[in-house]
A = this chain, B = another copy of it.
Amino acid sequence: MAVTMRDIAQALGVSVVTVSKVMRDHADIGTHTRNRVLAKAKELNYRPNLTARSLVTGESRQVGVIVPTLLHPFFADVLEALSSTMKKSGYAVMISSSMEDPVIEEAAIEQLLGHRMDGLIIASCSTSPAKFQQLNEQDIPFVLIDRFFPGFRTNYVGVDDRVAGKMATEHLIAMGCKRIAHIRGLEFTTGVGRFEGYKQALKQHGIRFNPDLVSPYMTADGLDWQQSSIAMDNLLAGKPPDGVFCYNDPMAIAAIDVVLQAGLHIPRDIAFIGCDNLHYGASLKAPLSSMDHHSSEIGVRAAKMLLRLLKDKTSTAKRRVVLKPSLVIRESSQRRASKNKQPSHN
């Protein structure tokens, strides 16, 4: 079995308590004893049993993070930023993927909590806030990111999806598009928000909303781009649009492929804009305009918010950080000279 504090204590003829105190840099141990313990610990390759420790202290100095997928660069960005922020404060981050499945998500929450994470950060793919309501009642510190539940008060960090949808659509309008289609995402807050922004923009600019130009919501089977291709096929089958706002960049890329395949020109025939501004966006056949969602800032803000919760367990007030997305214009939408062209990478 693994070496324990007792092994060290016995080898040295001191008590376990002494060893424990040394391991945690406790003040009241003499230099001599301390050094002996340290030496022995190294010699025996001692590794503190953190589970035992957390059992008695009641905290693990670990936080759990659950995202719907690792494959989407947006979440990868968030996670990297989040991890490094947490690490700076001495917390380890345990990452788990729910694979876009609410059942797995709930299982992951239980797993993580069963292992006594001090707090959770979750980009939920669940359709109801029930689980999070429950977590609230149990006073478990957590913050939601990216997606949220309308009407459910909770700690949250994300961007304003409605604004993202509105800005994107308005950009297409500014570029002279008259017949603007929207390929929708999942029927969660993000997808719904962006869609509403789209409608709102049309309305404010006196363009009649045409349901034929909007794809159905996606199903969560991880085949975004495929569904997007089909949606684009359908759009081309009728009277084609002259501008398309896609739920996210991967879907935009898939749709663009279809359009290019059909021999049409981007942006002349159809202008495109996506969402999330992922890397390589500039290197695509049709360098993709997009809404930047400040992924790493989301990670940092979420981490800091959770750290605050962990520090101040008493406060029950819910905080809400909503970032404003920013427009990144590239060639895929640029039908007129624009004043604010962006540099390529990132």
User: Once bound together, how far apart are the Cα atoms of A110 and B92, in whole Å?
Assistant: 11
Query: Number of A residues contacting the other chain (C-beta, 8 Å)?
Result: 58
Given known A-B contacts A96-B95, A114-B49, A284-B283, A257 and B80 have beta carbons under 8 A apart: no
The smallest C-beta distance from A322 to any residue of chain B, in angstroms, reads 25
Interchain CB contact under 8 A, A116 and B71: no
Among residues of B, the one whose C-beta sits closest to the C-beta of A92 is B111
The smallest C-beta distance from A51 to any residue of chain B, in angstroms, reads 4
Restricting to A104-140, which residues have a CB under 8 Å from any CB of B? Answer: 104, 108, 110-111, 113-116, 134, 137-138
User: Once bound together, how far apart are the Cα atoms of A285 and B280, in whole Å?
Assistant: 10
The smallest C-beta distance from A96 to any residue of chain B, in angstroms, reads 7
Which residues of B lie under 8 Å from residue A69 when comparing CB positions? 80
The smallest C-beta distance from A4 to any residue of chain B, in angstroms, reads 11
Among residues of B, the one whose C-beta sits closest to the C-beta of A50 is B114
A99 CB–B CB distance under 8 Å = yes
Which residues of B lie under 8 Å from residue A50 when comparing CB positions? 111, 114-116
A237 CB–B CB distance under 8 Å = no
Which residues of B lie under 8 Å from residue A55 when comparing CB positions? 49, 51-52, 55
Interchain CB contact under 8 A, A70 and B76: yes
User: Once bound together, how far apart are the Cα atoms of A167 and B87, in whole Å?
Assistant: 41
A60 CB–B CB distance under 8 Å = yes
Interchain CB contact under 8 A, B62 and A71: no
A97 CB–B CB distance under 8 Å = yes
The smallest C-beta distance from A334 to any residue of chain B, in angstroms, reads 15
User: Once bound together, how far apart are the Cα atoms of A280 and B257, in whole Å?
Assistant: 10
C-beta contact mask, A67-101 vs B, less than 8 Å → 1, else 0? 00111010011011001100100001111110100
Among residues of B, the one whose C-beta sits closest to the C-beta of A2 is B138
Restricting to A34-78, which residues have a CB under 8 Å from any CB of B? Answer: 45, 47-52, 54-55, 58, 60, 62, 69-71, 73, 76-77
Which residues of B lie under 8 Å from residue A84 when comparing CB positions? 99
C-beta contact mask, A1-17 vs B, less than 8 Å → 1, else 0? 11000000000000000
A344 CB–B CB distance under 8 Å = yes
User: Once bound together, how far apart are the Cα atoms of A279 and B225, in whole Å?
Assistant: 11
User: Once bound together, how far apart are the Cα atoms of A79 and B95, in whole Å?
Assistant: 11
User: Once bound together, how far apart are the Cα atoms of A141 and B284, in whole Å?
Assistant: 43
A32 CB–B CB distance under 8 Å = no
Given known A-B contacts A114-B47, A115-B50, A280-B280, A99 and B70 have beta carbons under 8 A apart: no
Interchain CB contact under 8 A, A257 and B344: yes
Which residues of B lie under 8 Å from residue A1 when comparing CB positions? 58
Interchain CB contact under 8 A, B284 and A115: no
A181 CB–B CB distance under 8 Å = no
* Residue of A60, A80, A95, A104 most packed against chain B (CB within 10 A): A95
Interchain CB contact under 8 A, A97 and B80: yes
Among residues of B, the one whose C-beta sits closest to the C-beta of A80 is B70
List the 4 closest A-B pairs by CB distance, nearest first.
Answer: A50-B114, A95-B95, A51-B51, A70-B76
Q: Beyond the given A45-B138, A257-B345, A283-B284, could you list 9 further A-B residue pairs with CB under 8 A, ordered by the A residue number? A: A51-B51, A62-B115, A71-B73, A71-B76, A80-B97, A95-B96, A115-B115, A225-B345, A256-B283
